[in-house]
Amino acid sequence: MGNAKMKNALVALAVGFVFALGLGISGMTQPSKVVGFLDVFGSWDPSLIFVMVGAILVHLVTYRLIRRRASPLLSPEWHVPTNKRITPALVAGSLLFGVGWGLGGFCPGPAMTSLASLDSRPAVFVVSMIVGMYLFKLVDAKLKIQK
């Protein structure tokens, strides 16, 4: 592995560790937090709002500061998505993600972090997610969904 790739890998590992630590400290690796947040007419748990608002505030400040640079620290150019089209595939994928999040109580980041608990529920979710990603690749290759 080249020096630049090694730096990128180490930075990605460090950022992933900080993200996982934040998820764990905030309790967002517990599916009951997500389900409690979605249970607006029952025993509603608003704590997810505070985690989201905190993340959005940090992003609002740091994104503007970081984008003032000519290029990122570890890349010669910025890699920012430019496609703003809302397609049927995007809407369907978003709906599927939301349903999975609501039913399982996990989204990919917290599920990966929760694997450290050795509980079977995050393992089942992650395996299902990987199978779903593989099935999407097969369907996408046949139908040419991605453009």
Q: Which domain, by its residues, includes 10? A: 3-143
5-56 residue pLDDT tens: 888 889 989 998 898 888 888 888 888 888 888 888 988 999 888 888 998 9
Nearest to 34 by CA among 96, 108, 94: 108
Read off the pTM.
Answer: 0.65
Nearest to 52 by CA among 36, 84, 28: 28
Q: Check residue 1 and give its pLDDT.
A: 67
116-146 residue pLDDT tens: 889 898 899 899 889 988 988 888 888 776 5
95-109 residue pLDDT tens: 988 888 888 888 888
Q: How many CB atoms neighbour CB 16 within 10 A?
A: 13
Q: Check residue 35 and give its pLDDT.
A: 83
Alpha-carbon distance of 126 to 37, in angstroms, equals: 21
Domain total of the chain: 1
